[in-house]
Structure 1
Amino acid sequence: MQIKNSVFLVVLACLAGCATLPSSGPTGKQIEKSAIAAANGAPIQLVQVQAVSDIPAVIDAALPASLLPDRETPPTDMVGPGDILDINIYEAGVTLFANTGNGGQLTQMTANPGVQVQKLPPTRIDDQGDINIPYAGTLHVAGLTTGQVEAAIRKALKRLSQNPQVIVTLGQAITNSVIVGGEVARPGRLVLQTNRESLSDVIALAGGYRGNSKDLMVRIMRNNSNVDVRINDIVENPSLDLRIRPGDRLMLVDDPRTYSILGASGRVEQVPFRRSTVSLAEAVATAGGTNPNLGDPAAIFLFRFARDAKGKEVPTVYHLNMMQTGSYFIAQKFVMQDKDVLYFGNAAANQPSKLVQLISQLFSPVLTVTSAVSVIQNSNN
């Protein structure tokens, strides 16, 4: 009897020392209460989603285009620093330029009965936007088209040569190009042939993307601004297929979108988006629904940093009661976003059952010891 009483005293002491019962997280009421309390000192918003009108709007598709500074589409043959020009000068009669065949050296004032053409060595436009032409001197050509460069050279040689004709072509284009890097087949410099190429055009010209389109994000950098566009979103929303401008830099990175599942669900994990658009109903199904032994279907919460009218991020908690029929229709229209946290509230009604289960686990060894003591005492008698 003394052994039995001692064991019971130990068990009671253990129960007295238990401050809280094991739990997968707070209950729905606890979340609502803490969110309301925090809202008094912090900008946390609690939204009771009871109708389709309560669903947060999807991010405006025109937003990425508005974040990039727009600039005029330059002519495709406009030149600038770094470009290399091929210059051919045609002369008749008395010529300034003549190819004597001795290493391509230029001789001055040569009389020829026919038309002579002189191809100048590849001419690079320097950092100040200037080129040097024999007998014409230094000419500033940055920002001009090849036709305007031809006119400038012809004008500079007019008094020195008899009716010179000039043809200028781009040997290597730097100004009219973009840089493409990351997950593409051929990263590097890409020359825009029409200056009307869209984002998808540039990716295709770079050999296409590598990897899964749903996981790829394109960062477009223009001047000091940048925007992010996902490959899959371009397919579903053509307005995101932005016009690319010379000087832009594009970087394709592998950046899967994910959402986290926590609380009393069928499983707790981080889930990647299977498609570009995932509804809340699909996310709940992926989580295995509410754990019948722990969770409360009336306490489904979504945690998100939502943007207000001024574009500022505000921590927001959306609450759905999946015990109501209408919530299942609302969940089909509710679109998940990257880094959302889907939480399944713990059921308050499960606390007594947990207590009984805990007491049962604690008393099982006591019953075993008591039974063993009784057997020993009976055998001694």
Structure 2
Amino acid sequence: MTVALLGGAVLLSACGLPRSGPTKGEIFSGSIEKGGTTNIVNVNDRVNRMANFSPAYGFGSDFRNAAQVGADVVRPGDVLGLSIWENVDDGLLASMGTSSTQLTELQVDSQGYIFVPYAGRIRASGNSPDELRRIITQRLETQTPDPQVMVTRVAGDGATVSVMGKVTAQGVYPIERPTRTLSAMLSRAGGVDIEPEVAVVIVKRGNSSGKVWLRDLYSSSSNDIALRPGDVILVEEDQRSFTALGALGGQTKVPLGNEQISAIEAVAMVGGLSTTLADPKGVFVMREEPQSVARAVLGRNDVMGDQRMAYVLDLTKPDGMFLARDFMIRDGDTVYVTEAPFVQWQKTLNSILGTATDVGAADSAFE
């Protein structure tokens, strides 16, 4: 009876022991060469050069090449103020005993026009205040002698942007002379209210959008783009991350931040390899590679579409640490470390011995 139970324990132990994930052999069995769907790639210097592609944040040429909005150009939605002086005691617009008339808060309608008494409906949109002054003067001088007109902008609400997300004061802000660039508008909204190191600034303009690290916005003037009416500025906390699994000091989802992180740094960030479980020959980085990168890594031009890749790092090789130091982690990567082969044997042995002890105890109970 004892032998039978012990034999059964061996079989059960071999197939039912707990573990942190697939073995190295099981991962290799899922390779393309063996009928699976994953490309298994041993990392070397060439692979590092080909695979270290990182989608960069930044604005396209359409954003960078846009000129600053003229702060003096009138637009639909702007509010104007008019002062009109007439060279007669009893003028068209002035009250009895006065020579000037104040027309405040004339809003430019959606079609770009304003209405001025005795001058009629006048197109204001697209003109500067000085150009609009000349137009109104020409309209009035046929009805009152030597009119003098002054046009001022009361508000710039016709050219506005929306500032949203992780900023101190969300809202709709006019593009004014001091706030015609991205950095100036963020300052106008009180700045960001998250750690600058993880702040990403997104600008949406029509059907286009671009994003930049807040740090890069202030370090490079080319990222401080000119704003356009209708722009939406969104400040978010960066969501890029990688997942650490297997025989590591911790298994968790780890934010990347705005720094480049290597495979060796990624392992260190979660407590390093487990000294009692990890196989240093079985460090994997798993990701989906775009077609162009997959072709370069595999050295094949017949690869079509995105490819599942499992990059293998062997930390026992003389240059293994250097290769892991140079292999960059990307958003969405999974860093997985397999258990050492002896760990499964040890688990099996412990399970067998434990079962044998239980069986011996049971036999003693029946004697």
8 Å Cα contact 1:195/1:244 also seen in 2 = no
- In structure 2, C-alpha distance between the alignment counterparts of 1:242 and 1:46, rounded to whole Å: 43
Aligned partner (choices 94, 97, 105) of residue 98 of structure 1:
94
- In structure 1, C-alpha distance between the alignment counterparts of 2:134 and 2:36, rounded to whole Å: 69
Shift, 1:226, TM fit: 2.1
Structure 1 residues 49 and 186 mapped into 2: Cα distance closer, same or farther (>3 Å)? same
1:288 aligns with 2:279: no
Aligned partner (choices 328, 333, 355) of residue 335 of structure 1:
328
Aligned partner (choices 72, 75, 83) of residue 80 of structure 1:
75
Aligned partner (choices 241, 244, 257) of residue 261 of structure 1:
244
- In structure 2, C-alpha distance between the alignment counterparts of 1:74 and 1:368, rounded to whole Å: 88
Who is 1:133 aligned against? 116
Who is 2:349 aligned against? 356
Task: Summarize deviations over 1:327-366 as a string: whole Å, max 9, x none.
Answer: 3223333333333221112334433333212212322212
Corresponding letter in the other structure for 1:49: V
Structure 1 residues 309 and 12 mapped into 2: Cα distance closer, same or farther (>3 Å)? closer
Who is 1:221 aligned against? 204
What is the SS of the residue equivalent to 2:52? coil
Who is 1:107 aligned against? none
Residues 202-241 of structure 1: matches in 2 within 5 Å? 202-234=185-217, 239-241=222-224
- In structure 2, C-alpha distance between the alignment counterparts of 1:347 and 1:316, rounded to whole Å: 22
- In structure 2, C-alpha distance between the alignment counterparts of 1:194 and 1:341, rounded to whole Å: 48
Instruction: Report the identity percentage.
Output: 27
- In structure 1, C-alpha distance between the alignment counterparts of 2:205 and 2:336, rounded to whole Å: 39
Shift, 1:368, TM fit: 2.7
Who is 1:176 aligned against? 159
Structure 1 residues 191 and 15 mapped into 2: Cα distance closer, same or farther (>3 Å)? same
Larger CA Rg, structure 1 vs 2: 1
Who is 2:173 aligned against? 190
Who is 1:56 aligned against? 52
Who is 1:65 aligned against? 60
What is the SS of the residue equivalent to 2:87? strand
Task: Summarize deviations over 1:213-267 as a string: whole Å, max 9, x none.
Answer: 2333322111122233332454566654444333211122334433210112122
- In structure 2, C-alpha distance between the alignment counterparts of 1:330 and 1:17, rounded to whole Å: 40
8 Å Cα contact 2:156/2:175 also seen in 1 = no
What is the SS of the residue equivalent to 1:88? strand
8 Å Cα contact 1:215/1:257 also seen in 2 = no
Shift, 1:290, TM fit: 2.2
Structure 1 residues 324 and 233 mapped into 2: Cα distance closer, same or farther (>3 Å)? farther
- In structure 1, C-alpha distance between the alignment counterparts of 2:43 and 2:217, rounded to whole Å: 30
Structure 1 residues 317 and 117 mapped into 2: Cα distance closer, same or farther (>3 Å)? farther
- In structure 1, C-alpha distance between the alignment counterparts of 2:293 and 2:181, rounded to whole Å: 29
Task: Summarize deviations over 1:172-198 as a string: whole Å, max 9, x none.
Answer: 112333211222112212233337744
Shift, 1:121, TM fit: 3.0
8 Å Cα contact 1:75/1:145 also seen in 2 = no
The answer for unaligned runs of 5 or more in structure 1 is: 102-111
Corresponding letter in the other structure for 2:207: N
- In structure 2, C-alpha distance between the alignment counterparts of 1:22 and 1:259, rounded to whole Å: 25
Who is 1:367 aligned against? 360
Greater mean deviation of Cα atoms: 352-361 or 63-72: 63-72
Who is 1:27 aligned against? 23
8 Å Cα contact 1:129/1:141 also seen in 2 = yes
Corresponding letter in the other structure for 1:337: R
Structure 1 residues 188 and 330 mapped into 2: Cα distance closer, same or farther (>3 Å)? same
- In structure 2, C-alpha distance between the alignment counterparts of 1:314 and 1:164, rounded to whole Å: 75
Corresponding letter in the other structure for 2:43: V
Corresponding letter in the other structure for 2:231: D
1:277 aligns with 2:260: yes
TM-score by length of 1: 0.80
Aligned partner (choices 286, 302, 309) of residue 303 of structure 1:
286
RMSD of aligned Cα (Å): 3.2
Structure 1 residues 231 and 318 mapped into 2: Cα distance closer, same or farther (>3 Å)? farther
1:244 aligns with 2:240: no
- In structure 1, C-alpha distance between the alignment counterparts of 2:145 and 2:262, rounded to whole Å: 75
Structure 1 residues 67 and 295 mapped into 2: Cα distance closer, same or farther (>3 Å)? farther
Structure 1 residues 75 and 34 mapped into 2: Cα distance closer, same or farther (>3 Å)? same
Structure 1 residues 72 and 238 mapped into 2: Cα distance closer, same or farther (>3 Å)? closer
Task: Summarize deviations over 1:289-335 as a string: whole Å, max 9, x none.
Answer: 22233322122122234445599865443322212232322333333
Shift, 1:88, TM fit: 1.4
What is the SS of the residue equivalent to 1:92? coil
8 Å Cα contact 2:248/2:274 also seen in 1 = yes
8 Å Cα contact 1:216/1:253 also seen in 2 = yes
